[in-house]
Amino acid sequence: MGRILLPGDVVALEGGLGAGKTVFARGVAQGLGCRKNEVKSPSFILVNIYRGAVPMFHIDFYRLEKKSDLRDLGLEELLYGTGVSVIEWAGKFPDVLPSEHISVKLSFAGGNERNINVQGKGARAKGVIEQYAHCPEIRRNICR
């Protein structure tokens, strides 16, 4: 998905502990030209910035208690800035997400398998999802 994303795009990740949010974020980072091995859960730092062809702002809402904490993070500058924002636990504060974003819900399907539901909110996000769905690598993984 990262190969398709542009600065200002937002990916909102949801799923229980261990569902694969950070693993998904690693894939986005790799597609953006960032080193995927650097991507770690931002739980304690809250925001990690990874440099690539397009920077990725990896944000985690898990430990935030109130919406005012988001202001201290500089969330608005990140969401509307020069990179792609990937937000773990985005459902904790859904009203701060831009109306145009990609929603990714991960859930356990048994063993190491996961169900991934991806939806585009807004025209740009829907276009990204359409491109993503037709990517040969994705189709090959889905068909396995």
Question: In this predicted model, what pLDDT tens digit does every residue of 23-78 receive, in sequence order?
Answer: 999 999 999 999 777 888 766 678 888 998 999 999 998 888 888 888 777 788 88
Whole-prediction pTM:
0.87
Cα angle 126, 127, 130; round to 5: 90
Residue ranges covered by each domain of the chain: 10-143
How many Å apart are CA 125 and CA 24, to the nearest integer?
Answer: 17
Task: Return the CATH number of the domain spanning residue range 10-143.
Answer: 3.40.50.300
Beta bridge partners of 101: 121
Using DSSP's 3-state secondary structure scheme, residue 43 falls into coil
- CB of 47 within 8 A of CB of 19? no
Distances 122 to 10, 52, 106, 128 between C-alpha atoms, Å:
11, 26, 20, 10
For residue 92 the two structure tokens come to 């904790």
pLDDT tens across 102-136, in order?
999 999 988 888 999 999 999 999 999 888 877 76
CA atoms within 13 A on the CB side of 40: 5
